Amino acid sequence: MSFRNFKMVSYVVYGRGSFNQLDEILAPQRKGDAPMVFLVDHFFDGKPFLNRIPLRGKDKIVIVDVTQEPKTKQVDALADQLKEEFGTISGVIGIGGGSAMDLAKAVSLMMTNPGSSADYQGWDLVKHPGVYKAGIPTLSGTGAEVSRTTVLTGPTRKLGMNSDFTPFDQIVLDPDLTKDAPVNQRFYTGMDCYIHCIESLEGTFLNEFSKSYGEKALQLCQKVFVEKNHWDEESDEQLMMASYAGGMSIAYSQVGVAHAVSYGLSYLLGTKHGIGNCIVMNHIEEFYPAGVKEFKHMVAKNNIEIPAGICKGLTDEQFDTMINVSLGMKPLWENALGKNWESIMTRDKLRALYEKL
Ligand code: NAD
Ligand code: ZN
């Protein structure tokens, strides 16, 4: 048996208003006059928040379009543009939801690794450490701030650049930055965290490390989405820590059925991560009875609409594509269903599930 030697984020600052410390946090990381580049979620384009970014010298803000989830082409284009404009940079700071943070991780790696980011989709393929990178979430739930991956859609697959070089050098967890997230989006991304917890806690890979973080994250999600009747400042604080702890939980176990099935949806239909997980979670009581029951209660209580019928009218070939993508996520299925997962989740059974979505 071999145990994972888990590379963590190097520095974490937490607290309402901690974003104001960014200038002093970045100062020792500056290499001569090489700039810091801030990749900022397009939600903040034209907003006063941009004036709070501590620009010095040749520093640059790049507004990133996160209408679709990050693509290898987008990462390559951003890295090429920065290499052309500056040669080298001191670092890259991703400010936004999971998409903007993943873009920052990937761009950092592509500043120092040759070729295309598509060459590094997989496990431990990245050869060189990237440039300094920091992540600043403005939406809570994905756990992208703590993970060792950056999920990218490439020419042939949707797969992360998983490596010990991928985690951020620094994260800034300032709950004040999430306060303007729209109710629906906050729920979908919050449920990503809730689902991480259920999949980790109900999985066969569970261990005391994952359980400790998973139980805490689950409890925080329940406080926010089950117990309270309105959103408040404390909710932003709780969900931000839930995201962190949920990410820590899956880092040392694995996700499960909802993620494996949702990856098929997002590959074929472009369904976004949070909402895709919710669409699947609505139909998998067979695997997670208590979790799905509570999930449905949260959906109703928070007045959220979960899309249905998204697989109507798809062809056999399209169903096969989703099934292939999903069954390719072997560790997720093994965590969810055990070593004999292939005899449990047959192609026919998975097809029947996709038809319900
Ligand atoms: P997102 O980053 O795609 O953003 C969703 C929407 O919310 C966007 O329109 C964005 O502009 C908006 N938004 C972000 N912050 C806001 C704010 N403060 N106020 C108002 N609007 C705001 O959503 P997400 O759910 O955070 O991230 C999903 C992405 O994360 C996917 O690309 C997924 O693959 C990735 N992901 C990565 C990991 C990982 O470990 N690296 C884990 C899970 C998911
Ligand atoms: Zn997830």
pLDDT by residue (tens digit) across 15-60? Answer: 999 999 999 999 999 999 999 999 999 999 999 999 999 999 999 9
Taking CA atoms only, the protein residue closest to ligand 1 atom 17 is 181
Taking CA atoms only, the protein residue closest to ligand 1 atom 36 is 98
Query: CA-CA distances (angstroms) from residue 40 to 72, 230, 257?
Result: 18, 29, 32
CA–CA distance, 81 with 139 (Å, rounded to integer): 27
Q: Which residue from 41, 126, 183, 200 has its CB within 8 A of the most atoms of ligand 1, so it is best to mutate? A: 41
pLDDT by residue (tens digit) across 119-139? Answer: 999 999 999 999 999 999 999
Which DSSP letter does residue 117 get? G
Taking CA atoms only, the protein residue closest to ligand 1 atom 20 is 181
Number of the ligand closest to the Cα of 196: 2
pLDDT given at position 3: 85
CA of 303 to the centre of ligand 2 (A): 22
pLDDT exceeds 80 at position 1: no
pLDDT given at position 4: 84
Other C-beta atoms closer than 10 Å to the C-beta of 164 total 12
Domain boundaries, the chain: 11-178, 183-356
User: Looking at the whole model, is its pTM more than 0.95?
Assistant: yes
> Which ligand 1 atom minimizes the distance to the CA of 69?
32
Average confidence (pLDDT) over 159-169: 96
Q: Which one, of 110, 102, 177, 95, lies nearest residue 147 by Cα?
A: 102
Q: How confident is the model at residue 6 (pLDDT cuts 50, 70, 90)?
A: confident
Backbone angles phi, psi at 152, to 5 degrees: -130, 145
Q: Is the CB of 278 under 6 A from ligand 1?
A: no
Q: Which CATH superfamily is domain 183-356 in?
A: Dehydroquinate synthase-like - alpha domain (1.20.1090.10)
Q: Tell me if domain 11-178 and domain 183-356 are identical in fold.
A: no
CA–CA distance, 232 with 230 (Å, rounded to integer): 6
Q: Is the CB of 143 under 6 A from ligand 1?
A: yes
pLDDT by residue (tens digit) across 232-281? Answer: 999 999 999 999 999 999 999 999 999 999 999 999 999 999 999 999 99
pLDDT by residue (tens digit) across 317-334? Answer: 999 999 999 999 999 999
What CATH number is given for 11-178 in this structure? 3.40.50.1970
- Tell me which residues have their CB within 5 A of the ion that is ligand 2: 192
